[in-house]
Amino acid sequence: MVDYERLLQIAAATRSFIQTSDNQAQALRDIITSHDIVFGIFPAEKDGWALHVVKGRELLNDQSADYHHTVLPFQTREQAARLEALVA
């Protein structure tokens, strides 16, 4: 089961880190490159929250390793998909 409250906490911390950085673009790059899996979280079309894998989709089924992950906040799935295309 997905703990959306925990993911939202991570996303809030990530947003804060980026917003308080002197170079926000570099901060975003650093976050993406330093994590194996990056999720995007955004409001679902109906109630609640939805996720999109921005980086590391191929690692999700490998339960034999311990991967570092983080969460980035988005307003829409399209924003997360655009970032996924840029980091591919």
Tokens at residue 66, please?
A: 């311990």
- Asked if 43 contacts 85 with a C-beta cutoff of 8 angstroms, the reply is no
The pTM assigned to this predicted structure is 0.91
Q: Is the pLDDT of residue 65 over 80?
A: no
Residue 82 to residues 4, 23, 40, 63, 76, Cα–Cα distance (Å): 22, 21, 11, 27, 10
Residue-wise pLDDT for 28-41, tens only, equals 999 999 999 999 99
The domains of the chain are located at 4-87
Q: Is the pLDDT of residue 86 over 90?
A: yes
